[in-house]
Structure 1
Amino acid sequence: MRTWASDSECATASVPGKTTLNINSAPKFLMNVMTTEDYKSTYWPKLEQAIDQLLTQSPVDYIPISYEQIYSCVYKCVCQQHSEMMYSDLKQKITTHLEQVSEDLQACPADKFIEKFNCFLTRYMAALESIVPIFIYMNKFYIETKLNRDLRDDLVRLFTDHVADKHVNTLMPLLLKAQSTPFQITPSTMASVVRGLYSLRPDWVQLAPALFCSFIPQIHPPVLQSELQHYAAQDRKLQMELIQNGFARGDQSRKRAGEDQANNVSSAPLPCSTSRSCR
């Protein structure tokens, strides 16, 4: 089993969306041996800075990253056989970030907890959409080949272990309470959190089957005919709750206004086109 990228593999690796990299045509300094000290003092700090930015930035304060430079940095580290150290540093960096996220959630008040969890989860998953491609060479030539794993799966598992697992017992009762009180939490936020939890660990469905069924289709067997009355009663209850919260079955005001306007028009005298026609 091959464990490291060979010279020929590194020489023909391609940066996503860029031209093929070739060591033979690269600047001479790329051929120099990278020591552990070089990696720690020069290469990893560049990667760490990019990771920090991707983990913490929001779409509002987005700052562009030179992905070509970062890809090349990872590529060089892989070819110089620093994949194991780079993988360890990456996991430790993200673990430290997620431990801080967990502490922030611990201090979050109950009425803001669901929204806060959703914010952290969606931001982290969005960050992975950039972090995983950055380390594509490490994933291909070290994680998949030597560890028989996948980088994205490993990083998603870190969020599960360091954040979701620690707070699911707090989060689930709040979600159930929000579900029983329509529009306490926006439907989009509820759906995002429930689907996110399911993607992290599908067996969490057992903690609240009815909650997950409301947002994730086909996670349970088809409804039996004997259960139809039960679901019909639940629908009627929901309709009553919506009416009590000011939501009518249909907005009749516009229709009535339209009908009144039509009636007024039909009952009004026809306008005079000329003074002669009015005589």
Structure 2
Amino acid sequence: MDESMDEDVSFEMMDDHNHNNWEASADAYRQHPPNPQQQTGHAAHSTVCEAEGSTLPNSGAHSAPEPGNGVGDCEDSAGTGASAGASAAAGGKVTLNINSSTSKFLMNVITTEDYKSTYWPKLESAIEQLLTQNPQDYIPISYEQIYSCVYKCVCQQHSEQMYNDLIHKITVHLQHISEELQASPPDQYIEKFDTALAQYMAALQSIVPLFIYMNKFYIETKLNRDLKEDLTKLFTDYVAEKHVCTLMPLLIEAHSTPFQITPSIMANIVKGLYTLRPEWVQLAPTLFSNFIPNILPPALESELSVYAAQDQKLQRELMQNGFTRGDQSRKRAGEELAYNGSSSSCATSRGYR
């Protein structure tokens, strides 16, 4: 037995009144270790030790290093409610019991099977609800629970698998949306595309924050990308790009007929397409210029008459569709002339067409 253990034994021999020799006291100490509750100092409490190079078995205990070698780093954990004691082990090592909460933490390891059978199904269910809900609806899911689930998976090194599962899940969903759009009749095509775009973008507003830990510690760090950009690109690749050639002629036709499509829907689609891929402006510059500023070159003075003719044509179309200019009987003299000349002034005030 090493020198430090001899010192402890000698200390017990001095306080022992039942034995008359050192050797008998030492034997009794080895066979019947004193009650930890009767000792003073750190031996009277349960301790949690961490040693370099040591492993923690499933039993929740590990072997401390040789006394006096300076490797062990122990923290006193008295008051935790767990009874712990030190007993002499073979080779001069001491086995220490760690408290129950630490044991539970150490045992709470998320294996690959745990991730596939427990954690990902929870995440997948929440993602499905977010992707299919109406943007105005309330979803009865626990955002705190999902957020915590993502955090635990990231801490347990499942970020790559979780990212791949997320991309696959959303890709399958978008492929289904694309198939539905392809089967839609022309008179419903624009509205269905607007619904799909609005629904998906609204879902991203919830999905991206839920996976913020994965985005920060895996996507940005290892992939040098951003989750929102990746998910937005999925919609571009699997939906918008496959339907833009069919969608654009319908948009141009609908825009040429006032109020065939609700102006808000037209604006949402055009702005959405521009956000997804700005170069799509070249497919219909005039259409995009009606909803996005600075698309066309600045207006030229030589083209003012053309702009005025376009305004007059729009006014005639509105009147043909039942839109009147209101009661003209209360106009003052000279006001009609000013009104007729206003088209030119409107054209010059646009700046960009």
Q: TM-score range by the shorter chain?
A: 0.7 to 0.9
2:264 to 157, 173, 188: 188
* Distance in 2, Cα, partners of 1:70 & 1:123: 20
**Structure 2 counterpart of 1:70:** 146
Deviation at 1:220, TM superposition (A): 2.9
- What are the residue-to-residue correspondences of 1:194-273 with 2, within 5 Å? 194-249=270-325, 251-252=326-327
1:169 to 245, 249, 259: 245
TM-score by length of 1: 0.79
**Structure 1 counterpart of 2:111:** 35
1:195–1:215 Cα contact (<8 Å) kept: yes
Q: Give the secondary structure class of the aligned counterpart of 1:108.
A: coil
Deviation at 1:227, TM superposition (A): 2.5
Between Structure 1 and Structure 2, the one with more strand by share is 2
Unpaired stretches in structure 1, ≥5 consecutive residues: 1-24, 257-279
* Distance in 2, Cα, partners of 1:138 & 1:52: 19
Inter-CA distance 109–240: structure 2 relative to 1 (3 Å threshold): same
* Distance in 1, Cα, partners of 2:257 & 2:274: 22
1:30–1:76 Cα contact (<8 Å) kept: no
* Distance in 2, Cα, partners of 1:27 & 1:174: 65
Q: Give the secondary structure class of the aligned counterpart of 2:298.
A: coil
- What is the aligned-residue RMSD (CA, Å)? 1.9
| 1:117 and 2:117 correspond | no
Inter-CA distance 60–128: structure 2 relative to 1 (3 Å threshold): closer
**Structure 2 counterpart of 1:91:** 167
**Cα displacement string for residues 246-265 of structure 1 (whole angstroms, at most 9, x for unaligned residues):** 1112x218x87xxxxxxxxx
* Distance in 2, Cα, partners of 1:76 & 1:88: 17
Inter-CA distance 87–177: structure 2 relative to 1 (3 Å threshold): same
Deviation at 1:28, TM superposition (A): 3.7
Q: Give the secondary structure class of the aligned counterpart of 1:222.
A: coil
**Structure 1 counterpart of 2:37:** none
**Structure 2 counterpart of 1:145:** 221
* Distance in 1, Cα, partners of 2:102 & 2:312: 70
Tell me the amino acid that sits aligned with residue 327 of structure 2: Q
* Distance in 2, Cα, partners of 1:31 & 1:200: 46
* Distance in 1, Cα, partners of 2:322 & 2:315: 11
How many residue pairs are counted as aligned between the two chains? 230
* Distance in 1, Cα, partners of 2:116 & 2:102: 22
Between Structure 1 and Structure 2, the one with more helix by share is 1
2:135–2:199 Cα contact (<8 Å) kept: no
| Bigger relative CO (Cα 8 Å, ≥ 6 apart) | 1
Inter-CA distance 170–143: structure 2 relative to 1 (3 Å threshold): same
Inter-CA distance 78–30: structure 2 relative to 1 (3 Å threshold): farther
**Structure 1 counterpart of 2:6:** none
* Distance in 1, Cα, partners of 2:102 & 2:251: 55
Tell me the amino acid that sits aligned with residue 194 of structure 1: V
Deviation at 1:193, TM superposition (A): 0.7
Unpaired stretches in structure 2, ≥5 consecutive residues: 1-100, 331-353
Q: Give the secondary structure class of the aligned counterpart of 1:47.
A: helix
Identical aligned residues as a percent: 74
Tell me the amino acid that sits aligned with residue 206 of structure 1: Q
**Structure 2 counterpart of 1:49:** 125
**Cα displacement string for residues 96-152 of structure 1 (whole angstroms, at most 9, x for unaligned residues):** 000000010011000010000000000000000000000000000111111111100
* Distance in 2, Cα, partners of 1:181 & 1:94: 36
| 1:105 and 2:166 correspond | no
Inter-CA distance 221–31: structure 2 relative to 1 (3 Å threshold): farther
* Distance in 1, Cα, partners of 2:258 & 2:118: 53
Q: Which has the larger radius of gyration?
A: 2
**Cα displacement string for residues 30-63 of structure 1 (whole angstroms, at most 9, x for unaligned residues):** 8622111111111100000000000001146532
Tell me the amino acid that sits aligned with residue 38 of structure 1: D
Q: Give the secondary structure class of the aligned counterpart of 2:266.
A: helix
Tell me the amino acid that sits aligned with residue 82 of structure 1: H
Q: Which moved more, 1:212-221 or 1:236-245?
A: 212-221
